[in-house]
Structure 1
Amino acid sequence: MQALLALSRAIDRLNTFVGKYSIWLIFAATFISAANAVVRKVFDTSSNGFLEVQWYLFAWSFLIAAGYTLLNREHVRIDVLNSHLPKKVQIWIEILGVILFLTPVCVLIIWLCIPIVAERYATGEMSPNPGGLIRWPVWVALPAGFALLLLQGWSELIKCVAFLKGLGPDPTVKADAKSAEEELVEALRQHQAAAGKAP
């Protein structure tokens, strides 16, 4: 189990690194968008390449950060029923979700994408738009993103099993989540600070 937990920590570090640095792809897309707007207004010219590289960067940032989002439990969850169940039942729901849903979907998408990416690379497919870009770099984002999501799902699975065996913390609680007591103390401090500033 210790080897699996070490693997889980390595996957967490990988997705943390990718997630934290994927923000630069958003920054680059925003910068290119602004530069394109300025060039279009000032010089009355533009290129579809500028638009497509923005789409590429957004696709990459969205897809490769999926594992980081799962790590931080920021995916959309509907816990109306789940949150009222005993903790062990919640953990088993997580385990079954990873095994029966997340893993098969990720494996299927990766399996289906790899031949498409290989074909796009081999043919050097270009965008049909005038001044458009080569297509395979954006296609690579699909298997890369789902591979990172799959790895993170397995990391969460390891953490769930470790929790059930009493070898790790509760993986369903966000790492930076405050307890009810900590939230109360923070609220009291803010109230006192506001009262102290009042005339």
Structure 2
Amino acid sequence: MSFLLSLSRLIDWINERVGRGVLWLVLIAVVISAGNALVRKLFNTSSNALLEIQWYLFAAIFMLAAGYTFLRNEHVRIDVVTSHLSPRGQNIVDIIGILFFLMPMVGLVLWLSWSPFMLSFKSGEMSANAGGLIRWPVKLLLPAGMALLFLQAISELIKRIAFLAGHIPNPLDKRKGPSAEEELAASIKAQKQGEAK
């Protein structure tokens, strides 16, 4: 079990780092969106590349943060039934959900999304819009996001089993501490203070 828990910690570390990186993509997407809207209103011009990079960033935010969201136990849940169960019962329901629903669905989407990415990559597919961007990077986001989510599903499965075996505290307990938005604000503040010195 100690090897599996070490593997779980490694997966958690990977998704934690990816999630923290994705927080910055939110800020970049907002700045690009605001700048593009401002240029469009003031100068009556726009760029297809800027519009498409916004879509790419939004896709990256949602796809790459799926594993991070699962790690943080912030994904959508329907607690009508499970809220009445004991912690042990809740973890058993999660194990069933991970094994029979999440992992097969994520595995299928990962498998189905790989061929379109490879076709786009090999052909050097470009946007049909004038001045648009190359397409394969955005098509890579789906299998990459699914791979991160699948890894996190393995980690969460290990943690649920370890809890049932009495090795760790309940992984379903919400983390206490700053929210993702508060972490981003603190990171920006720390960076500004570092630049001021």
Residue aligning to 2:81: 81
Structure 1 outlier segments of 4+, above 3 Å: none
Alignment of 1:95-110 (within 5 A): 95-110=95-110
Q: Please tell me the root mean square deviation across aligned C-alpha atoms, in Å.
A: 1.3
Q: What's the offset of the Cα at 1:148?
A: 0.7
Return 32-41 or 13-22, whichever deviates more: 32-41
Q: What's the offset of the Cα at 1:124?
A: 1.2
TM-score (norm 1): 0.85
Alignment of 1:37-116 (within 5 A): 37-116=37-116
Aligned residues: 177
**What secondary structure does 1:127 align onto?**
coil
Residue aligning to 2:133: 133
Alignment of 1:18-37 (within 5 A): 18-37=18-37
**Distance in 1 separating the partners of 2:168 and 2:175:** 13
Question: Could you list the runs of 5+ residues in structure 1 that have no partner in the other structure?
Answer: 178-199
- What code does the residue aligned with 1:17 have? R
Residue aligning to 2:14: 14
CA distances 1:52-94 after superposition (whole Å, capped 9, x unpaired): 1000001001110011111111111111111112322211111
**What secondary structure does 2:127 align onto?**
coil
- What code does the residue aligned with 2:136 have? W
Q: What's the offset of the Cα at 1:136?
A: 0.7
- What code does the residue aligned with 2:127 have? S
Q: What's the offset of the Cα at 1:145?
A: 0.6
**Distance in 1 separating the partners of 2:95 and 2:40:** 52
Q: What's the offset of the Cα at 1:133?
A: 1.1
Larger radius of gyration: 1
Q: What's the offset of the Cα at 1:121?
A: 0.6
Q: What's the offset of the Cα at 1:42?
A: 3.4
- What code does the residue aligned with 1:112 have? L
**Distance in 2 separating the partners of 1:140 and 1:70:** 20
- What code does the residue aligned with 2:70 have? L
**Distance in 2 separating the partners of 1:44 and 1:61:** 29
Q: What's the offset of the Cα at 1:51?
A: 0.5
